[in-house]
Structure 1
Amino acid sequence: MNSAWDRLVKKSRRPYKTVQHVEETEIMSNNKGIHSSLDENIEQIKDSFGNSGDLIIRSFRMGKPFSHKVASIYINGLTDKEILGTFIIERLMKDVNLSENDDPFSPSQLTTYIKEHILSITNVRDVPDWNKLFLSLLSGETIVLVDGWNHGFACAAQGGDLRAISEPTTESSVRGPKDSFTESLISNTAMIRRRIKSPNLWLETMELGKITQTGVGIMYMKGIVNDKLLTEVKERLSKIKVDEVQGSNTIEEWISDNIWTPWPTIFTTERPDVVAGNLLEGRVVIFVNETPTPLILPATWNQFFQTAEDYYLRWSMSSFLRLLRIFSFLITLLGPSLFIAFLSFHPELIPTPFLINLASQRQSVPFPIVIEALLMEFTFEVLREAGIRMPRPVGQAVSIVGALVLGEAAVSAGIVSSAMVIVVAATAIASFTIPHYAMTDAVRLLRFCMMILSSLLGLYGIGLGLIILVAHTCSIRSFGIPYLAPFSPFILADQKDSILRLPLPFLSERPRLINQLKTKRIEDSQTSSPENDNMKNQDSKKDSYEK
């Protein structure tokens, strides 16, 4: 029995998946040189792609007297066919009499002549091995191979059907620009270039994912960004050794300081103006191809309650809206738990007439108040998820009608009290004022924890939960920056643009902990203050009167 069991265990431990994984990665990391025979190269490409239907190979002859075989290879759907036909195929097919002499070009001379005299496309680069050939081909470039030469060259003709630039869907605003990022890395970086016309705006690109080879761009302002922060970002990205990188969420989980915290430690946005503003503050932005939400780091807790519209409105209205969001955050986090604590443990703190009214409502409710609250919160989360996953024309109607019908039916049936429905509805409405969805998700999870603590210890449980939550938040760092900055540690200079926003002439300094190289936004901050401007105007008037 023991020997049979040992054989069964050894058989189950055979690394079948490991062998298959090595074979897949070896295909994508083929650094062997290209063959000199065009027919062998075409067969190699067909075999590597499994004779895929979207692999297009166009073969023809050129040179004098039409002695050289040439082939253009591209993936249908990834290449702009207008660029391919006008600037590559048409140019190669027209220029057939390449030499005035009787002797034809050699393959190497023909390749050089094609690159330097025939192709009028913007970017042409050599492809010496199979690894670069496959990567260029799958990136939308067109590969041109010449028979007799063991090198090819890739022509930049990326295109195909891409989503157009549209308005933001999750970060809409009344004032300000209406454009948002798309799934194209080149288009996203171009939108930032239009806003920041400076040669100090640097972009470094790399590919992550052994199989997917996903394009990643690191953008920063040279001379403003902290070099230690930039080095840390590059080191963390270089440690991502996985087969697939499907989007920015994969990179976010790999490079985060603390993946177990409920708080989001990396900021995401779909607005180019938000990215431009963070770059000018000294932050680093990571763009991922096929993802319309770049990563902004480091991130602080206060940053998730600020919007781009705060800088398009007057400072007084922006400050009021920020205070409103903080207050709504507290309602979302503590609303149901405070209701449970007051009714279960501290009814003496409730005014007597209101307490009698609440008690009369709960006479027909068969469940304890904590079960009632958890049931209503769970029902609302189901309705929220159903409204998101269903088709857009139907989802909104289902969520609204479902909430009204279920709430009214639950109160009529005596399952929940009307006061509990009001509390849950007010909590849900308050959660919609939080501008960033990642922070909303964190509060949704923490709200259930606070409800359980309040049902066990009342207000003392809420106080204990808040102490643990604040202590945990103080211990978090985002790429070396304290998560609660500029509150902990307290930085007086950064309070001008934290909970309140002072007028723009007073915001003459960048955040201290994020940027350590160039904290001044202008050369002399005193020249931009309103007091000094008034003094200069009075001095100029005095000089004119004396003259």
Structure 2
Amino acid sequence: MDVNQSHQSGIISAGSKQVGEDIPIYPSLEKNIAYIKEALGHSSDLVYRTFHFGIDNPNEAAVIYTDGLIDKDFIQNYIMKTLMVDIRDVKLPPNTSSCIEQIESFSVHSGDLKRVHHQSDVLDHILSGDTVILVKDASYGLAISTRGWRDRGVEEPSTQGVVRGPKDGFTETLRTNTALLRRKIKDPNLWIDNKIIGARTKTDVSIAYINGIVNEDMIKEVHERLDRIDIDSVLEGGYLEEYIQDETYTPFPTVFHTERPDAVAAALLEGRIAIIVDGTPFVIVVPALFIHFFQSSEDYYQRADISTFIRFLRFLAFFLALLTPAVYIAITTYHQEMLPTTFLVSLAAQKEGTPLPAFAEALVMEVIFEILREAGVRLPKAVGSAISIVGALVLGQAAVEAGIVSAAMVIVVSLTAISSFVSPAYNMAISVRMLRFVFMLLATSFGLFGIIMGLIFLVLHLNSLRSFGIPYLAPFAPFNMNDHKDTLFRLPLWVMKYRPRLLNQKDITRRNFETKNK
């Protein structure tokens, strides 16, 4: 093995060092192709074609790309045809640098063309779906954007459906997602910054915000947190969430994600920041406050009174999902005097044939329902919902008839389960599902006193949380009267003149009211 071969093998085998890092493009075309093939392990999807072009001073070039990631029609019609047919009889300058400059300036029909000077850049572009042109004795190559892989079309979001509103949702393709945002916000101040995160996956990540509305310090904080991430792979936005969230040891999400372009557009107009990860239809939005997880895009497409009523239902469902089993356990175990006599006698009659205490009944039923819920998610869609519903009915009825649980407990667990589905944010619903067991334990240990103490500690914990420096309970704590126009109540749109004050301190008006009044 010669020195060059051993040098290449050393770079390729070094797992902690990027392949081809700081190695310039070789003058020899054969050597460049051999290096790329070796670096990619002679992969079968690597395609390269060498050819000669020009007369008088014919030169040799190579076109290299990855099959399956490119638009073959574009390569055939606008690269190969141009280089092998259109300029075949063109007199080329004797200087190789002038030759590749002529190709760059006059021969390649592409709006996205970049120069590459190192082998690492060549590999990155090839593996990203670009086509690289290398010319013999040239000091650099040309990377042309020819990405054309098959992707899922724009479809209705599967997790955040609405009765009234847009039906388009994000896809797994980064540029499709940024285009959906551009369609919503046709403002030149919508800026999109790009990063590449992941030492091996080299995942494209975009940061979208509206300049002039967003807090500049918050933009710097987002960039700093993303730049600190040192990880092999980023396969989904959840990889980034765990690195950039403010608090790890909390059941509550401090980062919001959504499939809806209109929800992201509304967040950007409030002064928040969107993080778009290639390969996932979920876009991350920061900062995320507690109140944001109870708001839905549909709130702004219905009348204010209807939206306010629905929001109250969401908060009611939140407390029902969190406290219903715990309150039932506390009252039936410690505080029977709070129940009407007739109802108490009915419960006592039901409990007479069940061997388990109230806490054990609730625990068994809740665990069974959680298993059914997860089974419904994993099962095929055609049978998942049917099996979940039938399973819940059959198991509940069988448990009552077998005397394992009381009928009242089945009603309590069913009400709790239905209430947990009301939340528009799936990750907040999961937090409630986990905390429900904690409150059940407090109720069986201390009764209503334990539930009250648990709520106090819960509020204190929420008050201690931050999302990118913003208090999690804002605008409740710290209290801001102006921002309460879009919290528990959703006032008419013409009343909400100002953007949330804690998110930005400039361009706080939603439109120019002074000009309109004139």
If the length of structure 2 is used for normalisation, what is the TM-score?
0.96
AA aligned to 1:71 is A
Q: 2:511 aligns with which of 522, 528, 532?
A: 522
Cα contact 1:329–1:430 (8 A) shared by 2: yes
Q: Which moved more, 1:391-400 or 1:59-68?
A: 59-68
CA displacement 1:297-333 (0-9 Å, x = unmatched): 1111001000000000011100000000000000000
Cα contact 2:57–2:94 (8 A) shared by 1: no
Partner of 1:147: 136
Q: 1:408 aligns with which of 397, 401, 414?
A: 397
Task: State the distance in 1 between where 2:13 and 2:429 align.
Answer: 41
Q: Work out the percentage of aligned pairs sharing the same amino acid.
A: 46
Q: SS of the residue aligned with 1:115?
A: helix
Task: State the distance in 1 between where 2:25 and 2:279 align.
Answer: 30
AA aligned to 1:414 is G
Q: Which moved more, 1:241-250 or 1:459-468?
A: 241-250
Cα contact 2:197–2:205 (8 A) shared by 1: yes
Gaps of at least 5 residues in structure 1 are: 1-18, 529-535, 537-547
Task: State the distance in 1 between where 2:11 and 2:406 align.
Answer: 59
Is 1:173 matched with 2:162? yes
Partner of 2:76: 85
Partner of 2:361: 372
Task: State the distance in 2 between where 1:482 and 1:21 align.
Answer: 47
Q: 2:204 aligns with which of 215, 226, 229?
A: 215
Q: SS of the residue aligned with 1:70?
A: strand
Number of residues of Structure 1 aligned to a counterpart in Structure 2: 509
Task: State the distance in 2 between where 1:255 and 1:22 align.
Answer: 31
Is 1:44 matched with 2:67? no
Task: State the distance in 2 between where 1:217 and 1:441 align.
Answer: 28
Is 1:62 matched with 2:53? yes
Task: State the distance in 1 between where 2:11 and 2:282 align.
Answer: 33
Is 1:355 matched with 2:344? yes
AA aligned to 2:61 is V
Gaps of at least 5 residues in structure 2 are: 1-9
Q: SS of the residue aligned with 1:71?
A: strand
The CA deviation at 1:182 is 0.5
Partner of 1:339: 328
Q: 1:309 aligns with which of 291, 298, 305?
A: 298
Cα contact 1:28–1:210 (8 A) shared by 2: no
Task: State the distance in 1 between where 2:259 and 2:347 align.
Answer: 45
Task: State the distance in 1 between where 2:514 and 2:441 align.
Answer: 51
Q: 1:397 aligns with which of 383, 386, 393?
A: 386
Q: SS of the residue aligned with 2:326?
A: helix
Alignment of 1:41-440 (within 5 A): 41-65=32-56, 67-100=58-91, 105-440=94-429
AA aligned to 1:302 is I
Distance 1:22 1:302, change over 3 A: farther
Partner of 1:460: 449
Task: State the distance in 1 between where 2:282 and 2:434 align.
Answer: 23
CA displacement 1:260-280 (0-9 Å, x = unmatched): 111000111110011111101
Q: SS of the residue aligned with 2:349?
A: helix
The CA deviation at 1:63 is 1.4
The CA deviation at 1:110 is 2.0
Task: State the distance in 1 between where 2:126 and 2:409 align.
Answer: 59
Q: SS of the residue aligned with 1:505?
A: coil
Cα contact 2:114–2:142 (8 A) shared by 1: yes
Cα contact 1:336–1:423 (8 A) shared by 2: yes
The CA deviation at 1:65 is 4.9
Q: SS of the residue aligned with 2:16?
A: helix
AA aligned to 1:125 is K
Q: Which moved more, 1:359-368 or 1:91-100?
A: 91-100
Distance 1:22 1:66, change over 3 A: closer
AA aligned to 2:340 is P
Cα contact 1:63–1:104 (8 A) shared by 2: no
AA aligned to 1:236 is R
Task: State the distance in 2 between where 1:193 and 1:96 align.
Answer: 38
Cα contact 1:257–1:478 (8 A) shared by 2: yes
Cα contact 2:11–2:19 (8 A) shared by 1: no
If the length of structure 1 is used for normalisation, what is the TM-score?
0.91
Q: SS of the residue aligned with 1:204?
A: strand
Cα contact 1:64–1:96 (8 A) shared by 2: no
The CA deviation at 1:482 is 0.4
Q: SS of the residue aligned with 1:216?
A: strand
Cα contact 1:38–1:145 (8 A) shared by 2: yes
Q: SS of the residue aligned with 2:170?
A: coil
Q: SS of the residue aligned with 1:25?
A: coil
Q: SS of the residue aligned with 1:416?
A: coil
Q: SS of the residue aligned with 1:504?
A: coil
Distance 1:447 1:28, change over 3 A: farther
The CA deviation at 1:419 is 0.7
Q: SS of the residue aligned with 2:494?
A: helix
Task: State the distance in 2 between where 1:470 and 1:312 align.
Answer: 31
AA aligned to 1:412 is E
Task: State the distance in 2 between where 1:79 and 1:109 align.
Answer: 28
The CA deviation at 1:22 is 8.7
Task: State the distance in 2 between where 1:460 and 1:451 align.
Answer: 12
AA aligned to 2:178 is T
Deviating above 3 A after TM superposition, structure 1's stretches of 4 or more consecutive aligned residues are: 19-22, 96-100, 103-106, 525-528
AA aligned to 2:384 is G
Partner of 1:480: 469
Q: Which moved more, 1:72-81 or 1:345-354?
A: 72-81
Cα contact 1:25–1:211 (8 A) shared by 2: no
Report the aligned-residue RMSD: 1.7
The CA deviation at 1:30 is 1.1
